[in-house]
Amino acid sequence: MLHHNIARLGLLLAGTALASGTAMAQEAAPAAPRQAPADDTGIADIVVYGQHRSAGESAQKVPIAITAVDARLLRDANTVDITSLGSLAPNVQTPTVGTTPGFPNFSIRGIGVNSSIRSVDPAVNIIQDGMVLVYQAGSLASTFDLEGVEILRGPQGVLFGRNATGGAISLRTRKPRAAFQLLADVSYGNFNSLDANASIEGRLGSDAVLGKLAVLYRRTDGYITNTNKGIFVAAPGNPTGAPIVHPTGQIGGLDELTIKPTFTFNISDGTELTLFTQYQRYNDNASSPRNFIPTTGAAVPLQTVYGFTPTAGKYETNLVDDGYLRLREWHAIGEMVNTIGTAKLTTIAAYRHVSFDSTVNLAGGPFTLFFFPDNQEDNEQYSFESRLNLPFAQDRVELTAGVYYVNSKINVLENRQQAGGAASPLTFIFTRGTFNQQTEAMAGFANIDWHVTDRLTFSAGGRYSSEKKDFTGAPLTTCIGQNFTNCPQVFTAQSKRWTDFSPRAVANFQAAEHVLLYASYTQGFRSGNFNSRVTNAAGFLPADPETVNSYELGMKGDFLDRTLRVNISGFREDYKDIQQVLTANIPGSGPVQTLINAASARIMGVEMEVTMQPTPAFQVEANFGYTDAKFQTFTVPIPGVADPTTLAFGRIPKYTVTIAANYHLTLPGLAGKLNARLAYDWRSSFYSDLQNTPELRQQAYGLLNANLNYDVGKWSLGIFARNLANVEYLDVGGRNLAYDRWGGQPRTFGVRATLKID
């Protein structure tokens, strides 16, 4: 199998070379994306690539809502992986699904996915070095070795990889430089947490070949304390009422190794090839649900059938088995850039393979009530993108045009082990479902920027997309024997293709040297999807695509000699044919739970990002987001809800606020510099589910984080703390056999040392 994969990658890279020609130059990010103003005072700019122009641009000159995060901020904010990015941008949520580690449920401006169904595409694309990650499991990349991150808010319907209705998060790996450099970073904290990474880079024989090897190792005992706490009484599922005793201690631990070799080949003055490669081994305790009893709400089987009432405290649980996760991922991405006169042609060919095996506990508690044991998943994808940047008409017009192709294959085996409940509480029901899906997507896109004057620019573009999905699945079916023996499976095969044209139009006006005004219209498209997790084959009917029409007004400005930066945007999004998992009447089958186009909505909001630098040593950053999301129509009823249009969007806070203060102090008599950061991240309340179950509501909460470093010579020594007040919060809540909380992280703290040798 491996040699076939290598052969495919070789063909893709060969295609890259043919498409790119014989002359090439660098288009990707330079080694230092943060740029100081020309007079070396005021707030620095960050170079971004969100418009796929022939060269990077200052984020302040880009007429789209984009938050640029450079390597320095990633370090100062003590980010670990991309789930830490949500606090750095307004109206952005970056939690996991909760029940399955390593599976994101990101949302931007209220549009996202609240599910772990593997056959469903995300609404927010994660893009690593130009490669769109089609299969989301295992996509929570570490922020180590990144040069920068771009968070693009709003639908990305033209320029960025696959179409996305919510937005995109683009990660850029730091390219090797010619000069020798060694970086090493080690931190150790409570919960026996170790995070160590290092990189070495420089010439490999000559300036024509540059190389970098970056390695990360992370481990922790886990942030949840497993206890034997709780009240047991006699019940049908535990006739004696005797306590269930199991080992205690920390759970949710992980062990991760990531290796990233990166090479740059300077083939000629106009030719450069960069090869990004990565291998990741990720072992984790799969899930750590925390049972709780709400002050209101119906009793659940954990109490009534099994006689257990949880009494665990903050970030504690009583869990008989926390399962496991075994992830193996590797990828290779080849990027070529040609300079042919004033034109540049960029071509990216990529291959990725992921294996993802897990056992997940969905009910929690000291009884084995609802397990997904020994599930197996496998994915491989290969993609190709080639785009041309061509200025003409004396640089008054710039064309960006290209083609995109991706092919992704997913194979999933899902096992479920569930206690029999009130009818037979001491027996188990074993259920199995299987599916495989091949996604083939292709697109052509073009965008023209017309600089009418030195201040006024009009942009217009569009993307034509064609996506085909071949789906073969067997619904979740009860096995006749125990322990998944004699499991009858009847497979259904379906195939469907969807096409779409997504337009884009932008007008921007440079009102002053450092003030940009813009207005834009963008359409986004999320492909039709099959629901792989059904109990009736009739539920395999696909949902058609959902679309978003987004209207935005914005201003980006630097004031007071560039010591005050204010970026403001207001938006309205018309969200149509929203895909939801609901029970619907399928002709010939009656009520069936499936994925359908259930609703439409109107989303309005405001975003503000402010940076103040009253002195060169002191800087304050703040962002504010407001999202008002309202359903307008629902095509199917929701049990227990008289008017579904009154429901709030699940897992979407109306308000997000982050304030951070950064202080850089040179101490008298000392050679080094003291750098301090204090940040407060606040989220308003939200519901965990579409039904707005009151018991699953997360109240408003705020997290206080701190970081203190002393930089001297080649060394940086520091201390850090996250969630200083030890606030308990959740990413998602659930109610089935029990009430559960998933996600959240208690107070963590530690020490950090960094060494840089040039």
Domain count, the chain: 1
Angle at 106 between CA 102 and CA 112, to 5 degrees: 130
Beta bridge partners of 627: 605
Residue in 110, 109, 80, 114 with CA at minimum distance from that of residue 96: 114
User: Is 104 in contact with 122 (CB distance < 8 Å)?
Assistant: yes
Residue in 593, 702, 578 with CA at minimum distance from that of residue 650: 578
Q: In angstroms, rounded to a whole number, what is the distance separating the alpha carbons of residues 679 and 657?
A: 11
User: Is 87 in contact with 76 (CB distance < 8 Å)?
Assistant: no
Residue in 389, 481, 381 with CA at minimum distance from that of residue 430: 481
Q: What is the pLDDT of residue 41?
A: 66
DSSP letters spanning 194-213: EEEEEEEEEESSSTTEEEEE
Distances (CA, A) of 75 to 10, 31, 622, 721, 725: 36, 16, 18, 13, 22
| Sign of the CA dihedral with 412 first, then 595, 734, and 124 last | positive
Backbone region of residue 541 per phi and psi (left: phi > 0; alpha: psi in -120 to 50; beta: other values): beta
Q: What is the pLDDT of residue 54?
A: 61
Is the overall model pTM greater than 0.75, yes or no?
yes
CATH number where 424 lies: 2.40.170.20
Neighbours of 427 (CB within 10 A): 10
Q: Which domain holds residue 561?
A: 2-757
Sites in the chain below the pLDDT cut of 50:
1-34, 36-39
Distances (CA, A) of 275 to 85, 270, 334, 351, 403: 26, 17, 5, 12, 20
Q: In angstroms, rounded to a whole number, what is the distance separating the alpha carbons of residues 579 and 97?
A: 17
Q: What is the dihedral of CA 25, 65, 517, 463, to 10 degrees?
A: 60
DSSP letters spanning 650-708: TT--SEEEEEEEEEEEEPTT-SSEEEEEEEEEEE--EESSTT--GGGEEPPEEEEEEEE
Beta strand residue intervals within 190-311, DSSP E: 193-203, 209-220, 224-226, 231-232, 249-251, 254-268, 271-284, 290-291, 308-309
Neighbours of 43 (CB within 10 A): 19
Residue in 77, 98, 111, 24 with CA at minimum distance from that of residue 605: 111
